[in-house]
Structure 1
Amino acid sequence: MPASELKIRDPFVFADKKSGKYYMHANGGKLSPGQLARFGAGRNALYAYESKDLKNWRLVGPSFVPPADFWGKSDFWAPDMFLVDGKYYIIATFSAREPSVKTVRGRLEPMRGCSVLVSDRPDGGFKPLANAPITPVGWMALDGALFEDSDGSMWLVYCREWLQVGDGQIIAQRISRDLKKTLGEPKALFSASSAPWVKEKSGTHVTDAPVVNRLPDGSLYMTWSSFSGGKYRIGVARSPSGRIDGEWIHDPECLNSDDGGHAMVFKTFGGKLKISYHAPNSKNETLTIRDFALKGGKFFISGE
C-alpha cells in the first residue's frame, strides 16, 4: 500500500538494521472489517506494518494481542518501538476499564498509562513485561518513549495528560535497563503553555508525543505536539546542556501548518534524516514522511 493511502495515527518508524526493513505498529482502529475478520484479533490489538523503501507498506498482522486479564482494555495508542540489548520493546498507551481518576472536567475517567511490551522480533510476538502500567498508578499518562543517555542509562519520557492537570506536562523518569521498573521520582520538564506557539482559548493545553534525540554537539532536542489556532502542530524544545533533566528551551515557532502531529525523527538506512507523523488530525489522517533538517540552528520540515 502506498504511504499516501495508509490511514494511521501516531506513526513511529523503526529502521531495523537486522532485516533491512522499516516497521511501524498501530491499533486496529483504521482497519477495514475485512482486514479485522482476516486476522481475528479485533481493534483493541496492535498490528505491524513493514516497508523496504518507506513508500510502500505491507500490513503484516497482529503484533500484540492482549491476554484476557491484561489491565489495558482500550486505546492501544502510540506504540513506539525500540531495540535494547537485542530485544525489541514497544511502549504503548492503554486505558483501564473502570473510571477511577478525577479529571479537570470534574468527572471520573478510566486510568490511562503506558505499558512495556517485549519480543525477539520486530513484527510480532509481543508480550507485556508486567500486567501493570510503567507510568505512575493514578495518573493519566500517555505517549511514552525511551531515551538512552550517553552513559547507557535509560529514561522514560511521557506526558501527564491535560485531562488530569489542565496544562499538560512532559515528564522524564529513569527506568531500569531491562525496562521492568522506574527509578527515582518523575520529573516535570515543562508544561504545554510554556511554549510560545501553543495558543488555545480553552484554558487547557495538550502535550503529546515527546521524542528526544541528541545532536552532534551533545545537546538534546525533543519533538512534541500540541494545538495552536485549532490545528495540531509539531514543536521543538531543546536542552543545551545535553541533560534530559536540565532546562528545556522552546523554539518560538512550530514546525508545520498541515494540521499534523505526533511526530518522531529517524534516520534512513542511507543516513538521511526523516520525520514521520499523521496529517491531518482527523478521521482522514494518513502517514506523512518528509525530509527533516537543521540549518542555521533552525529545524525544517521539507515542504513547510
Structure 2
Amino acid sequence: MPIRSANGNYRALSLSSFFVLLVFALGSCQNNKEANESADQTAQDTAATFQNPLDVEFGDPYILDDGSGTYYMYGTGGGAVDGFSVYSSKDLVNWNYENQVYHGNTADSWNESAFWAPECYFFDGKYYLFYSANWKHNPTNEGENFHIGVAVADDPKGPFEDLQNKPLFEPGYPIIDANVFRDDDGKFYLYYSRACYKHPVESEVADWAKAEGLFDEIEESWVYGVELSPDFKSVIGEPVLLLRPPVKMDDANAEWESRSVTSGEVNRRWTEGSFTFKHQGTYYMMYSANFYAGENYAVGYSTATAPLGPYTKADNNPVLQKNVAEGGEVTGTGHNSVLFLEDQGKMYSVYHGRTQSTGEERVVFIDEMTIDANGKLEVAGPTTSPQPMIITDSK
C-alpha cells in the first residue's frame, strides 16, 4: 500500500507497519467511543438527579399543583416588596421567577408590613391566596399586630386582590401561618398559629428557665383550628386549641420543642407553620417548633380522627431537623408544606432551611415523605446529596 512521504514521493508501506496503524486507529476509535458513552452516561445521570437546596430564596415555601402541568411556588421573601412573588416549574427542580403576584401596604390596603407565609389554593376556577400581615388598625399600638388576609385571582401568576379590605377575622390576639384544608364532605377548615407576643405560659420548662437564670418568663405560640365559610370571608364557630408546646419536662416532645429556650437563645416556644391533610381516614397535622431564624427550627406531626381534633403528637418527632451532628450542613429546617403527586403515589415535604454556603438566607428544600402501614410519618431529609429527579417526563 503506497503512502506519500515528506518530500512528496510515494513509497510502499510494509505489511507490518500497516497492521500497527490499523490497530492504533481501531484503538483510538474504541477509546473515543468509550469516552463519548461515558460523557453521555454522565449527562444522563446528571439529568436524572437533583440536589437540595433548590435555587429559590424563600421562607415558608408552598407549592400549588392546579393540574395544568405547571407548578407554582409561593413563599416569604423571594424578591417581593410588601407582598408575595411566585416561581413556576415543570419538574419541581428548575424554577423560574415570574413576578410579584400580590402588592400590599398601599394607600387602600388593610395591611402594612410583615407579609408572611402565603399559601395559594385552586378552588372552583379561582385562585385564593391566604397570608399573614400586620393590620394598619392598631389602636393600642401593639408591637405585633398580625392578622390573616385572603386575596383572589383568575391566574396563579396574579394579580391577586383582597376579597375584602380587612382581615379574615379578629380572634383578639395576633395570628400567622394560615393553612386551609377541605375535607371529604366539602367543609373548609382554617388552621393558624397564635403568635407568642404577650402570651407568657406557665410550664415546667418556664420554671426551669427561671431557676437557671435564663428567662423570667416564656411566651408561647399555639395552633388553632376553625371552620371556614365557603366564600372565605369569615369563620364559623369559635376557634379550637389544637396544639401547644409540652407543659411537662418529661413529655416525649418537650426536649426538641424547647431547644430555643434550653439553649438560651430566646424566651419563646413556638408551635407554628402547621399543615393539615388526610391519609387513609386519619388527619395529620405537621407543625414547626423553635425559633424560625435559629438552627433548632424543626418539624413534627400529630394525628387525629376529626379535623378539629383532639390531636396527639407522634412519638417519633421530630421528623425533620438539622443534620450537622451527623456531618451534614443543614440547619433551621421548618415551616413545611406537603405536595402530593397522586400519579406517582408519592408525597414530598417542601420546607426551608439554611446551609453553610447560604448563610442566614432561607432556601427551599424538597424531600420525599412516607407514611407506613402503621401510620408512621417520616421525611427522608434534609438531603444535599444527589436525589432522583421527581418528574422526568416534563415538557
| TM-score normalised according to structure 2 size | 0.67
3-state SS of 1:139 partner: coil
Identity of aligned residues (%): 26
Q: Greater helix share, 1 or 2?
A: 2
Instruction: Give 1:72's aligned residue.
Output: 111
Instruction: Give 2:282's aligned residue.
Output: 219
3-state SS of 1:123 partner: coil
Distance 2:320 2:354 in 1: 11
Cα contact 2:135–2:167 (8 A) shared by 1: no
Distance 2:172 2:158 in 1: 30
Distance 1:57 1:83 in 2: 20
Instruction: Give 2:12's aligned residue.
Output: none
Q: 1:270 to 1:151 in 2, by over 3 A?
A: closer
Instruction: Give 2:70's aligned residue.
Output: 21
Q: Deviations over 1:225-280 (max 9, x none)?
A: 012896000110110x2x12221100132012222100011113643211100002
1:66-215 matches, cutoff 5 A: 66=104, 67-97=106-136, 100=139, 108-136=142-170, 138-165=172-199, 166-193=219-246, 195-196=253-254, 197-199=256-258, 200-201=261-262, 202-215=266-279
Q: Deviations over 1:116-165 (max 9, x none)?
A: 11111111121101111114254210001111122111111101111132
Q: 1:98 to 1:183 in 2, by over 3 A?
A: closer
Distance 2:240 2:66 in 1: 31
Q: Deviations over 1:72-115 (max 9, x none)?
A: 1111110001122221111000013465568xxxxx31411110
Cα contact 1:198–1:226 (8 A) shared by 2: yes
Cα contact 1:95–1:112 (8 A) shared by 2: yes
| TM-score normalised according to structure 1 size | 0.86
Residue number among 337, 362, 371 corresponding to 1:264 in the alignment: 337
Instruction: Give 2:44's aligned residue.
Output: none
Distance 1:269 1:247 in 2: 28
Q: Which consecutive aligned stretches of 4+ in structure 1 deviate over 6 angstroms post-superposition?
A: none
Unaligned runs of 5+ in 1: 32-41, 103-107
Q: Deviations over 1:50-83 (max 9, x none)?
A: 1000110011102112342211111111000112
Instruction: Tell whether 2:392 aligns with 1:290.
Output: no
3-state SS of 2:157 partner: coil
Cα contact 1:13–1:24 (8 A) shared by 2: yes
Instruction: Tell whether 2:125 aligns with 1:60.
Output: no
Cα contact 2:228–2:234 (8 A) shared by 1: yes
- 1:4 corresponds to which letter in structure 2? L
Instruction: Give 1:48's aligned residue.
Output: 86
* Root-mean-square deviation over aligned CA pairs: 2.3
Q: 1:249 to 1:100 in 2, by over 3 A?
A: farther
Q: CA deviation at 1:183?
A: 1.1
Unaligned runs of 5+ in 2: 1-50, 200-218, 248-252, 323-331, 383-395
- State the aligned residue count: 283
- 1:158 corresponds to which letter in structure 2? Y
